[in-house]
Structure 1
Amino acid sequence: MAVVAVSAGIMPDGYGSDRCWLNYDRGFIWSFLGPVCCILGINAVLFIIILILLRTALSQMQHGPAHDKLIKMVVFKTLVQSVIVGLPWILGFFTRSSQALDVVFHVLNSQQGTFIFLLHCVLNEEVRKQFRSCCRRMTNKE
């Protein structure tokens, strides 16, 4: 809201055009893209910090096949979640040049919740085990 208030205060005629909710005149689009760049940059820094902390924490754990599987799963989930959240916004920078990228941007953004559900529920062995257990209990009651 603060970004919109500042942008509207600086250039009140910057909102609304025939192609976009922001005018491209005089670089007003950067009132949106600037904060997006900052957020993506902060997310990239946080991602690197998380990977370093994960590496440190996981290196102090016991080693073995279960440990290696845990490391691979945590790194995989971290990478996939970063792609799920970051990739659509990176594509968003190029939507003006391609209608296909615009469609991909909208589809990926609208399906983030679905992707996160798949990542943290469907691909999670513990959740699947609980689901199977619950289904067995329900079928045994009938």
Structure 2
Amino acid sequence: MISIIGCSFSITGAFVTIFIYLYFWRYIKSRRSSLVVHLCIALCVAYLMFLTAVEHTENKIGCVVIAALLHYFFLAMFCIMLCLGIDLAVAILDVFNSRSSSAVFYLVGWGVPAIIVGITLGGSQLEGYGDSRYCWLRNASLYGFIVPVLCIISVNLIIVIIVMRMMFTSAFMEKKTLKEKTISGVRGMCALLPILGLTWVFGILSFSEDLIFFQYLFAIFNSLQGLFIFLFHVVLNNQVRQAVAKKIKQHESKTSFNKSSKSKFVSNSSSEDVLNSMSEESTVSYKYNIPRLSLKIPDNKTQL
């Protein structure tokens, strides 16, 4: 039940994030924004399939297809998270030119998962996908998901440690109080956790049934990943908020311009009506009736 409710919120949050990013794209256009949109797309598809198709085990071939697609889209999520981590490291450390082609990131995000799924399908000869309960990986095929995920989480964890260390040792942070540093650190961690996949660490810690606390944390944080992305990368994102403010300002200025234009048109129309009426009145006032002169010419014959 927790997973169903959480996934529903996650799908909604991810969908709203996609809509807002695309609507304000001209103001927030960047490689990181593009990767966030790609992450939300993969998340929406993966969670929708998880909610609607993971238990459809009636047809063997259909179950294998569902399991393979789930494997692909969940891996795509993690590969895009890896790309976000690398992009963050590039921006912070300036290791190489941050204006490098984004096509490499998209190739890693969507291409590497396809290679891993293909190798896993071929190695297991389709036997490692689906069982009588769920359309998911089983037996040795699980390593085709666990190993890449652990590698990506490890890399992103190292990136987060480096970023947080640089953030706290910066001149800007040194001027802040301990309370302000703590708030900034917690906010930074909360913003990075959902897009770098670090909440899946709780899944590693919940390997035993005795550690039910970590199982609940894993279910809550990962099922709400899309909602956290919406909160920290839309609601609390200064760039998005500035874009919204610009859009509202443009709309208000456009509305006021239309109103002023309309009022000017009405005033001009009324002025023209007044001038026309005045001209008509002047025409009437200064119109003279010229009397017609009737001249009688005397008859010459009579006078003679």
Q: State the 1:39 CA deviation.
A: 0.9
In the alignment, the residues of structure 2 paired with residue 63 and residue 48 of structure 1 have an alpha-carbon distance, to the nearest angstrom, of: 18
Residues 97 and 8 from structure 1, CA distance in 2 versus in 1: closer, same or farther, beyond 3 angstroms?
farther
Structure 1 position 41 matched with structure 2 position 154: yes
Give a deviation string over 1:30-85, Cα, whole Å, max 9, x none. 111111111111111111111122123x2x23854xx4476444311222234443
**Structure with more contact order per residue of length (Cα contacts < 8 Å, sep ≥ 6):** 2
Structure 1 residues without counterparts, runs of 5 or longer = none
For residue 23 of structure 1, the aligned residue among 138, 141, 161 is 138
**2:189 equivalent among 79, 82, 90:** 79
* Change beyond 3 A, Cα 1:16–1:96: farther
Q: In structure 2, what residue type is equivalent to 1:7? A: T
Give the one of 199, 202, 221 matched to 1:91.
Answer: 202
Q: Is the 8 Å Cα contact of residues 95 and 105 (structure 1) preserved in structure 2?
A: no
CA distance in 2, matches of 1:46, 1:11: 34
The two structures have a TM-score, normalised by structure 2, of 0.34
Higher radius of gyration, 1 or 2: 2
Cα shift readout 1:61-115 (whole Å, capped 9, x = no counterpart): 3854xx447644431122223444322x2233447849x7767645433422322
State TM-score, norm by structure 1: 0.63
**Residues 28, 75 of structure 1: alpha-carbon distance in 2 compared, 3 angstrom cutoff:** same
What stretches of structure 2 of length at least 5 have no aligned partner?
1-113, 257-304
Give SS of 2:133's match: coil
CA–CA distance in 1 between the matches of 2:124 and 2:162? 37
In structure 2, relative to structure 1, the CA distance for the partners of 1:18 and 1:96 (3 Å cut) is farther
Rate the CA distance shift 1:125–1:43 in 2: closer, same or farther, 3 A.
closer
Moved more, 12-21 or 111-120: 111-120
For residues 10 and 53 of structure 1, the distance between their equivalents in structure 2, rounded to whole angstroms, comes to: 43
Q: CA deviation at 1:4?
A: 0.7
Q: Give the alignment's Cα RMSD to 1 decimal.
A: 4.1
Structure 2: how far apart are the matches of 1:71 and 1:103? 30
Aligned residues: 132
- Comparing 115-124 and 14-23, the one that deviates more: 115-124
Secondary structure of the 1:29 match is: helix
Q: From the superposition, tell whether residues 104 and 72 of structure 1 become closer, same or farther in structure 2 (CA, over 3 Å).
A: closer
**Is the alpha carbon distance of 1:124 and 1:7 closer, same or farther for their aligned partners in structure 2, counting shifts above 3 Å?**
closer
Q: What is the identity, as a one-letter code, of the residue corresponding to 1:115?
A: F
- What is the CA distance between 1:23 and its match in structure 2? 1.6
